[in-house]
Amino acid sequence: MPTLLLTGFEPFHTHPVNPSAQAAQALDGQAVGQTRVQSALLPVEPQAAATQLRALLDEYRPNAVLLTGLAAGRPQVTVERVALNVMDFSIPDNAGQTYRDHPACADAAAPAAYLSTLPLRSVVAGWRAAGIPGHISNTAGLYVCNFVLYCALHHLAITGHRHVPCGFLHVPANAAVALAVPEDRPALPYLPQEEITRAVWVAAKVVGDEL
């Protein structure tokens, strides 16, 4: 059975939970269509996350890679188109570090950007067919999610696995994340966790079906 590596992130910043982690945990070990989901949680700390991710790619040799994270403030699920070789954090990571105008990968051969190798249009079509509004996003930000997507695509490229579909889903806040925002601060749009998990499941199904 083909394996799909599904990652979520630990909580970060002021968010008490991370809905991407809850979705990844809920789907761990499940057969989605003909594909087995293998989930992992990544720290919101670039070097530690990259080390862990490279080890997961080398150990599991997944047939597809679906990375997920929280984009608090986005109203819908999104599938990212591109990862840039830039880190420019507006908030510190979980180790208290803030990187500014910093390359994600300093190798001379590292390109300025990698395009996601997921079937983006099929994922969005799969969501719509399942009654889930979602769209392609043209920026994954310049924080840890963009960094991790860049590292995964770079690692697959330099280890001869460019053919392995790999990309990133950003999910909205869930109720717990939205409830943690003080009432005098701008309110966050949210989706129930079950719907976030279902959107990740549908994306995994679409990606697995196209293998």
Q: How many helices (H) and strands (E) does the chain have?
A: 6, 9
As measured in angstroms, the least distance from the Cβ of 145 to ligand PCA is 3
From the list 74-82, 110-118, 120-128, 143-151, the region that binds ligand PCA by CB under 6 A is 143-151
Q: Which is nearer to ligand PCA, 64 or 71 (CB)?
A: 71
Pairwise CA distance, residues 104 & 117, whole Å: 19
User: Catalytic residue among 80, 151, 155, 195, which?
Assistant: 80
Under the criterion CB under 6 A, does residue 20 sit at the interface with ligand PCA?
A: yes
* Contacts with 63 (C-beta within 8 Å, 6 or more apart), sequence order: 2, 3, 4, 35, 164, 211
Shortest CB 44 distance to ligand PCA, Å: 5
8-state DSSP, 186:
P
The residues in 36-55 that bind ligand PCA, with binding defined as CB under 6 A, are 44
Please choose, out of 26-34, 67-75, 129-137, 184-192, the segment that lies near ligand PCA by the rule CB under 6 A: 67-75
Residue (of 115, 209, 210, 107) closest to 162 by Cα position: 115
- Does residue 12 belong to the site contacting ligand PCA (CB under 6 A)? yes
- Least distance between ligand PCA and beta carbon 21 (Å): 8
Taking CA 75 as the corner, what is the angle to CA 136 and CA 132, rounded to the nearest 5 degrees? 65
Strands (E), the chain: 3-9, 31-32, 35-42, 64-70, 77-80, 82-84, 113-115, 134-137, 166-171
Check residue 82 for interaction with ligand PCA (CB under 6 A): no
The token pair that represents 147 in the structure block? 């960094």
- Please, which residue, 35 or 72, has the CB nearer to ligand PCA? 72
Nearer to ligand PCA, 139 or 159 (CB): 139
Whether residue 194 lies in the annotated active site: no
Under the binding rule (CB under 6 A), the answer on residue 201 touching ligand PCA is no
Per the annotation, the verdict on 105 as an active-site residue is: no
- Whether 4 and 35 have beta carbons less than 8 Å apart is answered as yes
13 is catalytic: no
List, by residue number, the catalytic residues. 80, 145, 170
Q: Which residues bind ligand PCA (CB under 6 A)?
A: 9, 12, 18, 20, 44, 69-71, 141, 143-145
